[in-house]
């Protein structure tokens, strides 16, 4: 049996560039797997882009863009937001910031992205002896995110943007998307992800106030639970203050000055691509 070849599609710039490269047969992949962590969790703009732009584009070019969900043993679908807000839950699967500003441990990417994709791979024939090739959208300017140590036993991660000749940067991905006539997607991540930069939070507060308020409300829910358990508060930013106090709506900024204040991000390419 030929090994599976898939792209871990995140709905962002780098993986959409891979979609375009596959459509023009510049890379040898026809299956793209989008693990949706929940319609109540993913940024709405990402979900809209996948549905309105990426899926129709893939279909027009003979590619399969498969949307996956985390399914529990009882057959129900679990979302990240539901896990966070489940009554009686003590877990914090997202990388909230502790009182000293340091990020806490997280399991969101592993549970809702990597393992979900892995189950699909196993169900479709991937094994330790016949591993699937999984393309990940990390560009040259993000090489620090390459991390093969987290590969599952039945997958072989590859990095088509880095293996391209010449290797491609994020700016190249933007050009590739534009040349295909597609709109540029935003960064793909949960709207409440603590890895958002200050600029991203401020832009959300300005342009998507309802979504920003939902993130503030989630932070409040988590801290009410922490207080009940006698634990220190946690935050969605590194500033040791509630989100609504730490962030003020952004003013318009010059191009290229965004996202300069934080370098923390998910390091395995499952999110933010």
Condensed to tens digits (0 to 9), the pLDDT of residues 244-266 reads 999 999 875 544 444 444 445 66
Residue 270 in domain: no
Name residue 155's beta-bridge partners: 132
Task: Name the domain boundary from 134, 156, 188.
Answer: 188
Residue 93 in domain: no
Q: Is the pLDDT of residue 269 over 60?
A: yes
Q: What is the pLDDT of residue 1?
A: 64
Q: The domain containing residue 143 runs over which residues?
A: 5-78+107-188
Mean pLDDT confidence for 8-32: 98
Mean pLDDT confidence for 63-89: 94
> Would you state the structure tokens that stand for residue 69, as one six-digit string?
């969900």
Residue 102 in domain: no
Q: How far apart are CA 159 and CA 134, in angstroms?
A: 8
Mean pLDDT confidence for 181-200: 95
Instruction: Based on the fold, state whether residues 22 and 157 are members of the same structural domain.
Output: yes
Q: What is the pLDDT of residue 266?
A: 66
DSSP-assigned letter for residue 210: H
* Digit-coded pLDDT (tens) for 23-49: 999 999 999 999 999 999 999 999 999
Instruction: Based on the fold, state whether residues 141 and 54 are members of the same structural domain.
Output: yes
Residue 46 in domain: yes
Instruction: Based on the fold, state whether residues 47 and 61 are members of the same structural domain.
Output: yes
Residue 127 in domain: yes
Residue 65 in domain: yes
Computed over every residue of the chain, the mean pLDDT equals 91
Mean pLDDT confidence for 46-59: 98
How many structural domains compose the chain?
2
Mean pLDDT confidence for 175-198: 96
**Where is average pLDDT lowest: 17-21, 155-159, 187-191, 252-256?**
252-256
Mean pLDDT confidence for 12-33: 98
* Digit-coded pLDDT (tens) for 213-231: 999 999 999 999 999 989 9
Instruction: Based on the fold, state whether residues 118 and 227 are members of the same structural domain.
Output: no
Instruction: Based on the fold, state whether residues 182 and 256 are members of the same structural domain.
Output: no
Sign, Cα dihedral of 201, 205, 206, 210: positive
Task: Name the domain boundary from 188, 220, 235.
Answer: 188
Instruction: Based on the fold, state whether residues 64 and 113 are members of the same structural domain.
Output: yes
Instruction: Based on the fold, state whether residues 161 and 256 are members of the same structural domain.
Output: no
22: CB partners within 8 A, 6+ apart = 7, 28, 29, 30, 32, 61, 63
Share of the chain above pLDDT 90, in %: 79
Taking residue 75's Cβ as centre, other Cβ atoms within 10 Å add up to 6
Instruction: Based on the fold, state whether residues 161 and 149 are members of the same structural domain.
Output: yes
* Digit-coded pLDDT (tens) for 120-157: 999 999 999 999 999 999 999 988 888 754 678 999 99
Q: Is the pLDDT of residue 177 over 60?
A: yes
Q: What is the pLDDT of residue 267?
A: 60
Residue 88 in domain: no
Q: What is the pLDDT of residue 83?
A: 95
Instruction: Based on the fold, state whether residues 179 and 141 are members of the same structural domain.
Output: yes
Instruction: Based on the fold, state whether residues 182 and 195 are members of the same structural domain.
Output: no
Residue 91 in domain: no
Mean pLDDT confidence for 199-204: 96
Instruction: Based on the fold, state whether residues 59 and 139 are members of the same structural domain.
Output: yes
Task: Name the domain boundary from 188, 210, 237.
Answer: 188
Instruction: Based on the fold, state whether residues 73 and 33 are members of the same structural domain.
Output: yes
Q: What is the pLDDT of residue 252?
A: 58
Most confident residue range from 52-56, 88-92, 152-156, 256-260 = 52-56
């Amino acid at each position: 049996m030929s090994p599976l070849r898939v792209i871990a599609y995140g709905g962002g710039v780098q993986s959409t560039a891979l979609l375009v490269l596959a459509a023009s047969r510049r890379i040898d992949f026809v299956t793209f797997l989008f693990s949706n962590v929940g319609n109540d969790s993913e940024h709405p703009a990402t979900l809209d882009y996948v549905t309105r732009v990426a899926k129709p584009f893939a279909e027009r070019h003979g590619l399969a863009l498969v949307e996956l969900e985390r399914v529990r043993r009882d057959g129900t679908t679990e979302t990240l937001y539901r896990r966070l807000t489940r009554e009686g839950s003590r877990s914090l699967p997202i990388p909230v910031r502790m009182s000293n500003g340091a990020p806490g441990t997280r399991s969101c990417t592993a549970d809702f992205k990597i393992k979900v994709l892995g189950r699909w791979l196993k169900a479709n024939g991937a094994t330790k002896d016949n591993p699937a090739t999984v393309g990940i959208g990390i560009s040259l300017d993000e090489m620090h995110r390459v991390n093969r140590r987290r590969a599952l036993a039945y997958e072989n991660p590859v990095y088509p943007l880095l293996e391209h000749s010449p290797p491609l940067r994020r700016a190249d991905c933007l050009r590739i998307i534009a040349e295909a006539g597609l709109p540029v997607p935003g960064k793909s991540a949960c709207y409440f992800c603590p890895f958002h930069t200050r600029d991203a939070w401020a832009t959300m507060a300005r342009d998507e106030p309802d979504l920003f308020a939902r993130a503030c409300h989630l932070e409040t829910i988590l801290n009410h639970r922490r207080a009940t358990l006698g634990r220190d508060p946690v935050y969605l930013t590194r500033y040791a203050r509630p989100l609504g106090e730490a962030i003020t709506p952004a003013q318009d900024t010059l191009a290229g000055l965004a996202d300069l204040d934080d370098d923390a991000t998910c390091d395995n390419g499952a999110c933010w691509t």
